[in-house]
Amino acid sequence: MAYKRILTIQDISCLGQCSLTVALPIISACSHETCILPSAVLSTHTGGFSGYTVNDLSGDFPSIKEHWLKEGISFDAIYTGYLGSTQQIEYVSDIFDTLKRKDAKIIVDPAMADNGKLYWGFDDEYVKGMAYLCSKADIILPNITEACFLTGVEYKESYDKAYVDLLISKLSEICKGTIIITGVCYDDKEMNVVIADNGEQTPYVHRRISKSFHGTGDIFSSAFVGAYMQGKSMFDAVQIASDYTVECIENTVDDESHWYGTKFETALPSLIRMLDL
């Protein structure tokens, strides 16, 4: 069983079951040492809540990095999620260069958009910065919307495989590593996660649940990182992460009071069984 030191950089939403509040427990459940660098602290996530508080932690990044360098701290993998600004992207790029171990994996989830729109507060400069960060990654995990913004391809709600092929082709000009596009839907019954690696595409198809929930992208990415860093193949890690995410949704879908996230904790035993640790 692998025991890796993984750094994940993203925000903390104190309530909402997304970002670091799912990444830390999920990656830890995969039996890794999970270190965190919070990009911001929010009282709740921004989807469906109003009046939430936000404390940007960008100013802490340089001193934390310097302390880690002084202590000789480095990481087997660095996994990024939601970053709050182009300045944070620059700081994270520097962390990639200075704190990764030899053969460390850089995994970027360009968490910036969904349903055809950028998240609040992001603009074209942020997209350019995220594209640069993706260029330094071994693995990127965009959804369809994020793939469109990164490549300049027009977003479409209905599309075919040729459209996804185009996105992958243009993403491969940005990232020379593995591209994993999530949320690929050709119909209302199935969901695809498409792995593009060394010019070959491999889809993993699972059942589509029509109701959507906040944080499922973070759940998928965190489970993928945990499984992949346990030595699972790219495809097996995608399968485990997809099946785990579906179970999280299934455990929540009938509880209308739990609209703000998924009960990912209830499915952690299944994730551990899938990993066969």
Provide the pLDDT for residue 152. 97
Domain coordinates in residue numbering, the chain: 5-275
Provide the pLDDT for residue 55. 94
Provide the pLDDT for residue 188. 83
Is pTM beyond 0.75 here?
yes
Q: How far, in Å, CA of 141 to CA of 251, rounded?
A: 24
- The answer to whether residue 198 scores a pLDDT higher than 80 is yes
Provide the pLDDT for residue 164. 97
Instruction: Calculate mean pLDDT across residues 55-78.
Output: 97
Q: For 86, phi and psi rounded to 5 degrees?
A: -65, -30
Provide the pLDDT for residue 127. 97
Alpha-carbon distance values, 6 to 96, 104, 127, 219 (Å): 12, 9, 25, 16
Provide the pLDDT for residue 240. 98
Provide the pLDDT for residue 54. 93
- The answer to whether residue 232 scores a pLDDT higher than 90 is yes
Is residue 25 very low, low, confident or very high in pLDDT (cuts 50, 70, 90)? very high
SS3 246: helix
- The answer to whether residue 194 scores a pLDDT higher than 90 is yes
Burial of 4 (0-12, 13-18, 19+ CB in 10 A): buried
CB of 111 within 8 A of CB of 217?
Answer: yes
Q: For residues 48, 51, 57 and 59, what is the CA-based torsion angle, rounded to 10 degrees?
A: 130
Provide the pLDDT for residue 207. 84
Q: pLDDT tens, 123-178?
A: 999 999 999 999 999 999 999 999 999 999 999 999 999 999 999 999 999 999 99
Architecture of domain 5-275: 3-Layer(aba) Sandwich (3.40)
Provide the pLDDT for residue 212. 82
- The answer to whether residue 102 scores a pLDDT higher than 80 is yes
Across 69-78, 112-121, 216-225, least confident range: 112-121
Provide the pLDDT for residue 209. 84
Mean pLDDT score across all residues of the chain: 95
